[in-house]
Every structure is written in structure tokens, then in C-alpha cells.
């Protein structure tokens, strides 16, 4: 387990409103030759944040103090594209602990859940509010499965797989859980060749 359990997160939001932000934007493929999972935060959204010569530009991601902005709000269908787990590794290393969108791609969502990055799919009106109010302090309450918006923005519930929620809140390790099923797996192998 390489991340802290999550119960709730209260933080300002960093808003990247574009729809269909793909994994090549989150972490370009040329940074995938690493053999460890550390230190990718500096390359999160690399080609948005740096000029061709590597100089940081004035992109929002370079302007904020990342520990103050733990919630990333992305446009619809966030994280589409490849299965690279480097995407959530880069985002968590940058300092994000949650991603909110009106839709989050399946593989990215699964990878995020395994790395302490809470993916929250929220209804369109709440998503629109978040897009319209960047930088507000928002609470994601994993215990109650709700997002609380300030300034009369309202409270919205979200759905998350019960097991994933349990793992995030209790720090349960899925590999350890699979290990406890060893007898069932062995029996399956005996019966199915």
C-alpha cells in the first residue's frame, strides 16, 4: 500500500475544463520508459506546462502551490486513452488526491482507485458548477459518498464501487485480498485445467 487511506478531502479545486483529456496529455508517452513509479509529477501535463526548451510557462499548473489544490476537476470523459498507470502516478506525485468529472474513463478510473487518487463521477449540474467556480474549497466525503460545494452550490451524492471505497478508506490492499482467495483459485485451476 503506497498511499494514505482516504476518508474525506477538503481542498481548493484546480479546473482543467477541456473535454476528453486523454492520458497522452496527462503524461506523454516519451516519459514512460521509467522503471519506477516515482517522480512523474513534474511531467504531469508536461506539454501543457513547458515550452519546447523545457522552460515552465504560465499554465495554471505552474502557478499554484500544488498541496493547496488536491482536487482536480476535469472536463467530460477525463482520462480516456491508454492503460498507463503512469497517469495517476503523475497526478498523485503532483499532489492531487481526487479527480472530479461528469465522466471518467474506465481504465483510468480503475488505476486511480489503486493509487489513492479518488475518481468522482458527478452529475452534470454539479460538474458545471465546479467548472464555473474554479479554485473554490470543496469537500469530498467518501464516508457519505457526497460532494459538498460552498456558496450554496449544494450537496451531491456520487456512486463508487463498495469494495473500492472500502479499500480506499481502510487502506486494504487488493493483492492481499486476492491472496486470501488462493484456495478458490487453486480449485478453479484444478477444475478448468
Partner 1 sequence: MPKTLFDKVWERHVVVPETAEHPATLYIDLHLIHEVTSPQAFTVLKERGLKVRRPDRTLATIDHSTPTLIDADGNRPFVTEQAEKQVSLLLANTAEHGIETHGWDSDYRGIVHVMGPELGATRPGMTIVCGDSHTSTHGAFGAIAFGIGTTQVGHVLANQCILMRKPKTMAIHVDGELSDGVTPKDVILAIIAEIGVGGGTGYALEYRGSVFENMSMDGRMTVCNMSIEAGARCGMVAPDQTTFNYLEGRKFAPTDYEAACEDWLSLASDDGAAYDKEVFLKAEDIRPMVTYGTHPGMAMPIDAMIPAAADEAEENALDYMQVKAGTEIEGLKVDRVFIGSCTNSRMEDLRAAARIMSGAKVVGDVIAIVVPGSELVKKQAEAEGLHEIFETAGAQWREPGCSMCIAMNGDKAAPGELVVSTSNRNFAGRQGPGARTILASPETAAAAAIAGVLTDPRVFSDAGEDPTDVL
Cβ pair 144, 180 in contact under 8 A: no
Interaction between residue 41 and partner 1 (CB under 8 A): no
Can residue 114 be called a binding residue for partner 1 (CB under 8 A)? yes
On whether the CB atoms of residues 86 and 58 are closer than 8 A, the answer is no
Contact call for residue 75 and partner 1 (CB under 8 A): yes
CB 57 within 8 A of CB 49: yes
Residue of 7, 132, 144, 177 interacting with partner 1 (CB under 8 A): 177
* 117 binds partner 1, rule: CB under 8 A: no
Work out whether 53 is an interface residue with partner 1 (CB under 8 A): no
Q: Is 57 in the site for partner 1 (CB under 8 A)?
A: no
Torsion of Cα atoms, 31 then 33 then 39 then 41, to 10° = 30
Question: Which CA distances in Å does 100 have to 94, 118, 157, 159?
Answer: 16, 8, 12, 12
Is residue 172 involved in binding partner 1 (CB under 8 A)?
A: no
Answer yes or no whether residue 159 interacts with partner 1 by CB under 8 A.
Answer: no
The nearer residue to partner 1, 67 or 193, going by C-beta atoms, is 193
Q: Which helix (H) or strand (E) holds 143?
A: none
Could you say whether residue 59 binds partner 1 (CB under 8 A)? no
- Backbone φ and ψ of 120, nearest 5°: -120, 115
Do 132 and 15 form a contact (C-beta atoms < 8 A)? no
Residue 128 engages partner 1 in binding (rule: CB under 8 A): no
Q: Indicate whether 127 belongs to the interface with partner 1 (CB under 8 A).
A: no
For partner 1, which stretch binds (CB under 8 A), given 54-62, 64-72, 149-157, 171-179?
171-179
Listed in sequence order, the residues at least 6 apart from 13 whose beta carbon sits closer than 8 Å to its beta carbon are 69, 71, 72, 73, 100, 130, 133, 134, 135, 136, 138
Provide, rounded to whole angstroms, the least separation between the CB of residue 70 and partner 1. 21
Check: CB of residue 150 under 8 Å from CB of residue 132.
no
Chain residues binding partner 1 by CB under 8 A are 17-20, 22, 24-25, 28-30, 32-37, 47, 52, 75-77, 80-85, 88, 103, 105-107, 110-111, 114-115, 161-163, 166, 174-175, 177-179, 181-182, 184-185, 188-189, 192
Amino acid at each position: 500500500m503506497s498511499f494514505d487511506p482516504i476518508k474525506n478531502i477538503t481542498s481548493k479545486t484546480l479546473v482543467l475544463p477541456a473535454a476528453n483529456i486523454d492520458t497522452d496529455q496527462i503524461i506523454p508517452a516519451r516519459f514512460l520508459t521509467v522503471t519506477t513509479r516515482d517522480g512523474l509529477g513534474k511531467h504531469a501535463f508536461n506539454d501543457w506546462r513547458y515550452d519546447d526548451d523545457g522552460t515552465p510557462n504560465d499554465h495554471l499548473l505552474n502557478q499554484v502551490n500544488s498541496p493547496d489544490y488536491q482536487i482536480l476537476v476535469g472536463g467530460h470523459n477525463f482520462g480516456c486513452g491508454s492503460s498507463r498507470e503512469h497517469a495517476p502516478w503523475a497526478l498523485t506525485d503532483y499532489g492531487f488526491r481526487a479527480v472530479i468529472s461528469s465522466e471518467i474513463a474506465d481504465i483510468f478510473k480503475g488505476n486511480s482507485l489503486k493509487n489513492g487518487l479518488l475518481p468522482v463521477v458527478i452529475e452534470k449540474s454539479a460538474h458545471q458548477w465546479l467548472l464555473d467556480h474554479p479554485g473554490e474549497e470543496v469537500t469530498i466525503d467518501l464516508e457519505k459518498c457526497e460532494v459538498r460545494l460552498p456558496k450554496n452550490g449544494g450537496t451531491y451524492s456520487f456512486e463508487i464501487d463498495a469494495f473500492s471505497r472500502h479499500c480506499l478508506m481502510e487502506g486494504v490492499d487488493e493483492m492481499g485480498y486476492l491472496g486470501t482467495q488462493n484456495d478458490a483459485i487453486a480449485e478453479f485451476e484444478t477444475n478448468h485445467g
